Structure 1
Amino acid sequence: MNLLHDHDHSAAALNARGCTLCEQSQFDQALDSFDQALALDNTYCTAWNNRANALCGLNRQADALAAYDRAVALNPQYHQAWFNRGKLLADMGAYGNAIESYNRAIGLAADPIYLHAKADIWVKKQLIATV
């Protein structure tokens, strides 16, 4: 299946192709698309965030965290990347760091999903502290 016209190799088009591939759980191919997008524009914070999402799909947590870090370094106002970073840190069991990332996301956009995720992590952190 051709997800892009052969002549459309812009960073935005490659990023969109990667997102489509991620939705189809084709994480290796998605990663290739995000890498191509970033080769054209290494300041494209959305592509860094999406690259991290693909890396999460490949269970490459350390690489994913580095990509989320790059996304938020490029755009500290990027609440979705802060949220995704928090979610990854929570999955890694780094609950304190996850809460910090969720707080950044919530400070930028008080999305109910962000608030719920933070509450879940707070409960997990409290349960671990009592064991």
Structure 2
Amino acid sequence: MKTLQSKIAIALLATTVFFNANAEDKKTTTSNTSSSTMLEYKSSNLNVGMYELGKVNSMKLNMALTKDAGKNAIVKIMDEKGAVLNEERIGKKLTGYNFCFDFNNVKVGKYFIEITEGDNIITKEIIKSNNTLSY
């Protein structure tokens, strides 16, 4: 019986740590009121996943984006000097979007993907070598 109680206590502790860690990522500002301190949280579903399309080292990077309904988003692929190679605009009605960028026709170097939705920005770095993409 004591072992079961220990396992439950450890599970509860781990859950508390997990939720507190995730809550810290969403904190933006602290506002003071006369009676207490209140935390304001970001409320965004903006997220991006990346993987190579087809075979490994195909140099075709597929991106899956999720975002909030009711907000526009902009996806830019830029070189390390800031020159925009591709720009996608995603309308307010969409909450998911998939697109592919072919890195076969760009030079070896460092590139960035920037996803903007209102005040929320995600930036991902991509390094193209002769035969691989790292991200």
TM above 0.5: no
Higher-RCO chain (CA-CA 8 Å, sequence separation at least 6)? 2
Which of structures 1 and 2 has the bigger CA Rg?
Answer: 2
Q: TM-score, normalised by structure 1?
A: 0.22
Could you say which structure has the higher helix fraction? Answer: 1
